[in-house]
Amino acid sequence: MIGLNVELFFLLYLGMGFLLIFGLWFYYERRDGRLYESRRSRVIFHCIKCGQIYMGPDHREERDCPQCGFTNGRLRF
C-alpha cells in the first residue's frame, strides 16, 4: 500500500475540488454565452394586419407573417 501523509491527501482533495468547481464554472459560462447569443440574434415582428407577434432567427428587415402571410417590418426599440 502506498503511504500518504495527511497533508498531501488534503492538498490533493482540495485541488480536485477546485478543479471540479472551475470545470463546472467554465462549462456553464460557455453554455450561457451561446444561449445569450442565440437569443440576441432573434428579431421580433408585429403583424399590422392580424396583430400576431412573431420572431425570426435572422437579421432581416421584413418577414412574412406565419398566420396571414402579410409582409411586416421589424420592431425597433
Give tens-digit pLDDT for 10-40: 999 999 999 999 999 999 999 998 888 777 7
Read off φ and ψ for residue 46, nearest 5 degrees: -130, 120
Residues 46 and 70 placed together within one structural domain of the fold: yes
Residues 36 and 47 placed together within one structural domain of the fold: no
- Name the region of 2 (left: φ>0; alpha: ψ -120 to 50; beta: rest): beta
38, 41, 57 from 60: Cα distances, Å = 15, 11, 9
pLDDT score, position 37 = 78
pLDDT band, very low/low/confident/very high, at 77 (cuts 50, 70, 90): low
Q: What mean pLDDT is reported for the chain?
A: 85
Residues 63 and 30 placed together within one structural domain of the fold: no
HSE-CB for 21 with a 13 A CA cutoff: 6
Q: For residue 29, what are the domain limits?
A: 1-40
Report the amino acid identity of residue 29: E
pLDDT score, position 59 = 73
Domains contained in the chain, number: 2
